[in-house]
Structure 1
Amino acid sequence: MAVWRRKPNRKVTVHSDQDTQFTSRECPMFLHQHDLESSMSRRGNCHDNAVAESFFQLLKRERIRRRTYPTRDDARRDKFDYIKMFYNPKRKHTNNGMLSPVDFETRRQKLTTAGV
């Protein structure tokens, strides 16, 4: 979905752990077809991909913990809602000047366009 929506014009790194969707045969083919580069942590070493691990820790702490979902679809919808409606557009991050990811990227694009 990110490739379809964002249409990156240069190689993008995809940070992941060793979960089954990332270690399947299809994943490397997909990454190659879309000029994406895999960055996968070693088994059991959360420090290899600190960015991905930090995100999943926040997702669990801020959204999933202490919730019981009636169905897998309900869980998927709730995670999608967290990412799309809160994490990306609203949640402020200390590592990007207390801007949300969307605001940070918009600001960066404006600076790049202005030649700064």
Structure 2
Amino acid sequence: MDAHKDRFGVEPICTVLQVAPSTYYAAKTRPPSARSVTDAATTEVIKAVHEDNYGVYGPRKVHAEMVRRGHRVARCTVERLMAATGLRGLSRAKGPRTTVPGTGPDTRPDLVQRKFRATGPDQLWVADITYCRTFAGWVYAAFVVDVFSRRVVGWQLSTSLL
């Protein structure tokens, strides 16, 4: 509204926006709320803690560091303010590397020419491998599926890809 009030006036803009002009004037003269003042101060501390730790701390560690420095603030407030300012921590967890590219050309022939159709059972089987994170670590599952019936013909679970 401030950008256009010189050209159109406050009252016509408020009429179009269906806002009372007194609401606009009250918002302009009202002092900032206590929450916005504390949020601004807390955001500066969060930015300092985040930068001091090379930008790798997430909300949990930023909150713990703030408490150690004597700033009492709720963890949910740290989460909210970090999200609002776009600060994020870095995750060390990476998915497993399941595909290792070969050094030479792929000389294996495509025997089905990418047409995964079969007219009867046991004519074409396809295989796939996937992985799932568990409390004990990564678990790998390999499946062999009959293309005609779409049923699992065989499967194997392992904690390694070997």
Structure-2-length-normalised TM-score: 0.18
Relative CO higher for 1 or 2, CA cutoff 8 Å, sep ≥ 6? 1
Which one has a larger percent strand, Structure 1 or Structure 2?
2
Specify which structure has the higher proportion of helix.
1
Structure number with bigger Rg: 2
